[in-house]
Structure 1
Amino acid sequence: MNKAARYDVAIVGGGMVGAVAAVALSQAGFDVALVEAKAPPAFDAGAEFDLRQSAIAPGPRRLLDNLGLWQTIAAERICAFTGMKVWDAGHHAELFLENTAVGLPELGHIVENGLVVATAWQALDQVDVFCPALLADLTVEPDCARLTLDDDSELTARLVVGAEGANSAVRDAAGIKTTGWSYHQRCTVGAVTPERHHRHIAWQRFTETGPVAFLPLADGRCSLAWHADDALAAELAALDDAAFCARLSAASEHVLGEIVSIDTRAAFPLKLMHAERYVDPRVALIGDAAHVLHPMAGQGVNLGLLDVAELVHALEAGRAAQADAGALAYLKRYQRARMADNMAMLAATDGLKRLYGSANPMLRELRAWAITGATALAPVRRLMLGQAVGLSGSQARLLR
């Protein structure tokens, strides 16, 4: 085999989490290969907003900043938000979480997924990129992982990282099982124009068929995330734009006035999935390859970026101890650092989905009590915000 085809780390999947991982590991001094099926387009600030938006929390933003990516991202059309308002349909109970409770200038930034991907790809100058390429076969040997791509080319790495999403070929090839279920819901997304400005607040109303959320965009519009049971989602998809906007105005209780218009909309299915382990000899999973949660809390991408920081931290510790990048003892450090936190967030979002998806009158009262209690108790609000902003006290270099 060609010597140039040997790497410390081969990452399969060049989306948000995989591309950032490639940048992070290459900057940490590892020889990195990235395998991706399709190169992303360059970011076009004149195009319509990406249908997929993420609320990047301050913790993961530190990672992007430390990698030199945030300056480029922040120069584009991102939007800071300073508060989150949550309320329950049918009750007066509401919860407002503000940045001042955690002493930060903002709670996060709404960023187009395509912008993060394009920015990370621009920083892959020290990474060997195999694209377009798919993983055809993976063989794990005592001293390396051997990857065969769909064009019959081969490469070897001390460690292969699965970062290609919920349908991870690396995870399947490694025989790592998952648990999970469908929520029988779909999330409808699109950029909406409300009658009133969003005031840099993220708005979310819980209904029995799923939450309706508005995330602030830089031009005064909002990114919609309407989680709805499959039957309702199909009904909404069949509406023309005027009828859809009328339904959305009512579903959001006109919190921002009438919804004037919506651009291109799309819907995607929602599910929970968790890998039974994140690592095996010479294999590690990050991002959606390891965990998929209900998006109501907007934490999916943040969890994946925190995975990246902890994986780099573990591999650097291994290298300092003269272990190679695939040493299982150090991969398990990564797993210990991330699995408990990820499972806690999966459990929390799953519990909220079930709590707010029930018409049981006792649970409705419990929801109202929970919101009222969180509003009244400042320590509870601070705890919730601490989790939401991703500042958990990690010792990972890239999060400091």
Structure 2
Amino acid sequence: MPDSFDIAVVGGGMVGAVLAVALDRAGFRVALIEAREPVPLASDDEYDLRVSAVSPASRRLLENLELWADLDHHRVAVYRGMRVWEGGGRAQLEFEHTALGLPELGHIIENRLIVDAAWRALRNVTCFCPAELGDLSVTANAANLTLADGRELRARLVVGAEGAGSPVRRFAGIDTVGWPYRQRCTVGTVATERPHQSIAWQRYIPTGPVAFLPMADGRCSLAWHADDRLADELRDLDDAAFAERLTRASGGILGRVTRVDSRAAFPLRLMHATDYVRPRIVLAGDAAHVLHPMAGQGANLGFMDVAALVEVLEQSRQSGRDPGDERRLRRYQRRRKVDNLAMMAVTDGIKRVFGIEDPALSRLRDRGIAAVQDLAPLKQLMMRQAVGLGGDLPPLLK
């Protein structure tokens, strides 16, 4: 007989691993299926290229799951402010942690640090790793999973949390809508002439925004969103020439870029699942939604999915319902789809507006930035949305 579980989570990255921990702590019998075993970061390893801006709400989630204390905090950088401006304009939009009475606006954390902490906390979770999903079928009473190596297991609910190419989503027959941006994000670790001051800096230019995110050792994590043609040029530059181009693209906001330690690039797209739910199947994180990374909200939206899904599943159990009950799971979809679509619409709209090269529109954008800067209530509303502490919060965020 196949092993039986309450919930099988497919995907052991940040969202999937944290979800598995949360479900285990909530008392569910959980299986985690992941293709590659995570490689922990040693304290003296070079910084990983993939980092996330973790909001105060996401920090609360990690604290409530007792994961925050297990992070290597020597590698975690706090940011207390943000500066946003347009390349040709004079106005600057400034966000400060004091406006919300918070000790910080967030933390810049390597994705692998969170994954490592979550995997070390999988106390009662049965891990199938390395393993890939070979087939998935659903009956009235259970979902049947067959792994690529022939092993079989059953679960009352399957969560697809394995990223944008989600096999669970494909097996469930869930369609997606979206489009490529014809941009790539060049990420890297760079040193600058002036200190970052624990501020996240982002300059908008027509080919895409350039962002410097503060790192714990004084360097910056780079996120340079560039149209494909420019991204090709940047890829072919040596480090010295790349540093010079980056200094110009950033407007020299932190002085010269003095060193480029590593870099890579990945394509950008918008993708949204038409449904998050099927009988005994639910999607979370990038399996359900992928947005432009300019606002740094991808990981935070995934963590909000985790908190909302766990709340719905606990409520179902309390009322004696099956965790795979589609009608109950629709509550999760209704709650998260609205928030995710709103953030996707904002980032897509900003990308398009700032991508138009027109002097008149540039002047209008500059005035708009200045107007928002002068409207404290509007800035506070924007900040509360970004830090994730507004509205009716699930228990894991309290």
> Shared fold by TM > 0.5?
yes
Aligned identity (percent) is 59
1:143 to 141, 144, 158: 141
Q: Structure 2-normalised TM-score?
A: 0.99
Q: Secondary structure at the match of 1:226?
A: strand
Q: Write the distance in 1 (CA, Å) between the matches of 2:391 and 2:44.
A: 39
Runs (4+) off by over 2 Å:
360-363, 392-395
Which 5+ residue runs of structure 1 have no aligned equivalent? none
Aligned ranges 1:87-102 → 2 under 5 Å = 87-102=85-100
Q: Secondary structure at the match of 1:265?
A: strand
1:109 to 107, 110, 115: 107
Which position in structure 2 is the counterpart of 1:27? 25
Which position in structure 2 is the counterpart of 1:198? 196
Q: Write the distance in 1 (CA, Å) between the matches of 2:354 and 2:36.
A: 38
Q: Structure 1-normalised TM-score?
A: 0.98
Q: Secondary structure at the match of 2:382?
A: helix
Which position in structure 1 is the counterpart of 2:265? 267
Give the deviation of 1:394 after TM superposition.
2.9
Q: Could you tell me which amino acid in structure 2 is paired with residue 162 of structure 1?
A: G
Which position in structure 1 is the counterpart of 2:304? 306
Q: Could you tell me which amino acid in structure 2 is paired with residue 373 of structure 1?
A: A
Q: Could you tell me which amino acid in structure 2 is paired with residue 178 of structure 1?
A: T
Greater Cα offset, 362-371 or 45-54: 362-371
Which position in structure 2 is the counterpart of 1:45? 43
Q: Could you tell me which amino acid in structure 2 is paired with residue 284 of structure 1?
A: V
Q: Write the distance in 2 (CA, Å) between the matches of 1:49 and 1:121.
A: 19
Q: Could you tell me which amino acid in structure 2 is paired with residue 171 of structure 1?
A: R
2:294 to 271, 293, 296: 296
Which position in structure 1 is the counterpart of 2:181? 183
Q: Could you tell me which amino acid in structure 1 is paired with residue 170 of structure 2?
A: D
Q: Secondary structure at the match of 2:9?
A: strand
Which position in structure 1 is the counterpart of 2:116? 118
Q: Secondary structure at the match of 1:263?
A: strand
1:250 aligns with 2:248: yes
Give the deviation of 1:365 after TM superposition.
2.6
Describe the superposition over 1:76-121 as per-residue Cα deviations: whole angstroms up to 9, x where unpaired: 4101100000010111011000001111000000000010001100
Q: Write the distance in 2 (CA, Å) between the matches of 1:172 and 1:392.
A: 33
Greater Cα offset, 71-80 or 275-284: 71-80
Q: Could you tell me which amino acid in structure 1 is paired with residue 78 of structure 2?
A: A
Give the deviation of 1:74 after TM superposition.
5.6
Give the deviation of 1:307 after TM superposition.
0.2
Describe the superposition over 1:277-298 as per-residue Cα deviations: whole angstroms up to 9, x where unpaired: 1111100000000000000000
Q: Secondary structure at the match of 1:97?
A: strand
Aligned ranges 1:275-354 → 2 under 5 Å = 275-354=273-352
What is the alpha-carbon root mean square deviation over aligned residues? 0.8
Does the 8 Å CA contact 2:74/2:216 hold for their aligned counterparts?
A: no
Does the 8 Å CA contact 2:78/2:106 hold for their aligned counterparts?
A: yes
Which 5+ residue runs of structure 2 have no aligned equivalent? none
Q: Write the distance in 1 (CA, Å) between the matches of 2:335 and 2:235.
A: 41
Give the deviation of 1:346 after TM superposition.
0.3
